[in-house]
Amino acid sequence: SRVGTRQGYTGAQAAQILLDRAGIHDVRVVQTQGYLSDHYNPTSKQLALSPDVYHSNSIAAVGVACHEAGHAIQHARHYAPLWARSALVPMAGIGSNLGYFVMLFGLFIHPYVVLAGVALFGMVLLFQIVTLPVEFDATARAKRLVLEAGIVSPDERTGMDRVLNAAALTYVAAVVSTLLTILYFLIRSGILGGRRD
């Protein structure tokens, strides 16, 4: 949504307000390049916002920025699922890079090779499942804190809710997609269903 907030805060300003209110003074809000490149980096303690989010005062931009501020708050409060997700990043990277290809080659070699690929790709699924509560919590924090801070009004928050809920559903879709990919290879290899075409 391109509708601006009544208060007129940009995404960067809104994120900074939430960080300040949470007593977090060691996280920098910075502009990054790229579309949909908004993220919080716990290592560098940077909340990076794309130009469209950083400079815009739209309800959508403010919602995205405040969601990312929610991740910084999670980090500062030692939110356990965030730490678990961070620990899974290396394994998910390996599983993402190798798992699919091992499953694919396994179709031509042997079902046990498919199982090895499923184990690797399963790391991606585990990472995505652990990501769900992290993202839902960051969204819930953003929804609550923007009202408490007066960044948006209650009627503006309705529009923000739609944007944030739609974004959260992309994480659910990723879990479903990964699960269906794994099931496809298990069925195609004959491991599930008992036949191999």
If one counts the domains in the chain, the total is 1
Residue 4 lies in a domain: no
- Asked whether residue 5 is domain-assigned, the answer is no
* CB atoms inside a 10 Å sphere around CB 108: 9
Q: Residue 1's pLDDT is what?
A: 52
Exposure on the CB side of residue 30, measured as CA atoms within 13 A: 14
**Would you say residue 179 lies in a domain?**
yes
| Strand ranges (E), 81-162 | none
- Per-residue model confidence as pLDDT tens digits over 91-115: 999 999 999 999 999 999 999 999 9
Evaluate whether residue 42 is within a structural domain: yes
Q: Which amino acid is at 185?
A: F
Q: Is residue 193 part of a domain?
A: no
Q: What is the mean pLDDT of the chain?
A: 94
Q: Examine the residue annotation and report whether 135 is marked as an active-site residue of this protein.
A: no
Please give the residue range of the domain that contains residue 19. 11-188
**Consecutive sets of 10 residues in the chain, 197 residues long: mean pLDDT of each?**
83 97 97 90 95 94 96 96 94 95 96 97 97 96 94 91 91 97 96 72
Active-site hit among 68, 135, 148, 156: 68
Angle at the Cα of 143 from the Cα atoms of 139 and 146, rounded to 5 degrees = 125
DSSP 191: T
Residue 126 placed within a domain? yes
Strands (E), 59-160: none
pLDDT attached to residue 195: 62
